[in-house]
């Protein structure tokens, strides 16, 4: 049974870019005769804007994109994330880390590794248990938890469903982008599962919830595509299935950057929801609505088109 989801972070209202992801995930679920869920990803509380969750749900309703179950809020689900972290600790796949950002930079500088602007360097592994056998919590109260990507990759089977592991490289298939690959250890390093300030990291929360909600198909914006190998590695470590992935084309701002709440994307104009949805549909290479179309008519037409195009040939 197909189960899809739309998982917005309530850092502001939906904008033209997030509506594309919402519409694509809804259409894909409907085209498969599946269920469509909405999950509010509010773990990064400092970035959340009070009331944005309610606003997002209202915007989805105004567009007739109704979830098949009441939405979930990740902020209520810390117990589940803790269970997953405990499991990873028990498997020696998570370790505590007391490095500050400065410590990490100093290690890179000492090794002569230069930071490329706008790109975070992989964690140098300072607190990995094998690098630091006598390592004990050093009295600094706040400690983060990191995922041991090298060990996790060693334990991942060479072929696992639609994914494969070859020389530490995870190979996976995206329904639009085709064959993808990444060596998680060298590209991103041992990423954070729980932050030193106690907040849960997106990677852990998304994997736990996709599994807990039995999500079979993830449809989301292309900016998240390079998170997928991290999530696949975590899924294997936790023994949960890997969904199928489809990453949708991004809506770019005038400066060519991805349209985002951060670069001032305007909130959706929902005085005429059909017109606004038609723009999102156009971005997905779907035809404009007919003159007489109501909003539900147009949505039904796009579902048919999505099926005919082989579940979205997004160009």
Binding residues vs ligand GLU (CB under 6 A) = 7-9, 41, 206, 220, 224
List the beta strands (DSSP E) in the chain: 3-6, 35-40, 72-73, 94-97, 144-147, 159-160, 163-166, 169-174, 178-182, 192-194, 217-221, 244-248
Cβ distance to ligand GLU smaller for residue 40 or 281? 40
If we measure between CA atoms, which residue out of 163, 124, 164 comes closest to residue 146? 124
Q: Are 17 and 251 in contact (CB under 8 A)?
A: yes
Going from the C-alpha of 272 to that of each of 22, 62, 266, 277, 283, the distances in angstroms are 17, 9, 15, 9, 18
Per 3-state DSSP, the chain is made up of helix, strand and coil in percentages (nearest 5) of: 40, 15, 45
DSSP 222: G
Cβ distance to ligand GLU smaller for residue 62 or 224? 224
| Minimum distance, C-beta of residue 38 to ligand GLU, in the bound complex (Å) | 11
| Minimum distance, C-beta of residue 204 to ligand GLU, in the bound complex (Å) | 12
Cβ distance to ligand GLU smaller for residue 36 or 95? 36
Cβ distance to ligand GLU smaller for residue 104 or 206? 206
Sign of CA dihedral 260, 264, 265, 270: positive
Cβ distance to ligand GLU smaller for residue 118 or 133? 118
| Minimum distance, C-beta of residue 9 to ligand GLU, in the bound complex (Å) | 4
| Minimum distance, C-beta of residue 41 to ligand GLU, in the bound complex (Å) | 4
Neighbours of 171 (CB within 10 A): 16
| Minimum distance, C-beta of residue 278 to ligand GLU, in the bound complex (Å) | 23
Q: Is 208 helix (H, G, I), strand (E, B) or coil?
A: helix
| Minimum distance, C-beta of residue 312 to ligand GLU, in the bound complex (Å) | 16
| Minimum distance, C-beta of residue 313 to ligand GLU, in the bound complex (Å) | 21
Cβ distance to ligand GLU smaller for residue 3 or 97? 3
Cβ distance to ligand GLU smaller for residue 74 or 98? 74
**CA–CA separation, 119 and 121 (whole Å):** 6
């Amino acid at each position: 049974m197909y189960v899809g989801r739309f998982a917005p972070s309530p850092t502001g209202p939906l904008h033209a870019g997030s509506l594309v992801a919402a519409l694509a995930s809804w259409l894909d679920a409907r085209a498969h005769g599946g269920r469509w869920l909405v999950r509010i990803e509010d773990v990064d509380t400092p970035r959340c804007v009070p009331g944005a969750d309610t606003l997002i749900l209202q915007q989805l309703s105004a567009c007739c994109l109704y979830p098949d179950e009441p939405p979930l809020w990740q902020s209520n689900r810390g117990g589940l994330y803790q269970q997953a972290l405990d499991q990873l600790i028990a498997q020696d796949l998570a370790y505590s880390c007391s490095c500050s950002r400065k410590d990490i930079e100093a290690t890179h500088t000492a090794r002569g590794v230069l930071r490329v602007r706008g790109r975070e360097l992989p964690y140098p592994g300072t607190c990995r248990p094998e690098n630091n056998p006598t390592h004990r919590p050093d009295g600094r109260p706040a400690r983060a938890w990191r995922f041991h990507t090298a060990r996790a990759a060693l334990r991942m089977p060479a072929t696992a469903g639609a994914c494969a592991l070859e020389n530490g490289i995870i190979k996976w298939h995206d329904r639009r982008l085709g064959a993808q690959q990444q060596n998680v250890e060298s590209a991103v390093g041992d990423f954070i599962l729980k932050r030193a300030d106690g907040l849960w990291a997106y990677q852990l929360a998304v994997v736990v919830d996709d599994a807990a909600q039995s999500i079979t198909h993830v449809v989301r914006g292309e900016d998240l595509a390079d998170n997928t190998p991290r999530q696949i590695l975590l899924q294997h470590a936790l023994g949960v299935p890997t969904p199928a992935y489809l990453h949708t084309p991004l809506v770019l701002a005038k400066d060519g950057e991805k349209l985002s709440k951060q670069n001032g994307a305007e909130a959706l104009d929902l005085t005429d929801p059909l017109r606004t949805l038609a723009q999102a549909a156009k971005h997905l290479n779907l035809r404009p609505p007919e003159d007489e179309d109501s909003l539900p008519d147009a949505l039904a037409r796009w579902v048919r088109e999505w099926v005919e195009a082989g579940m979205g040939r997004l160009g």
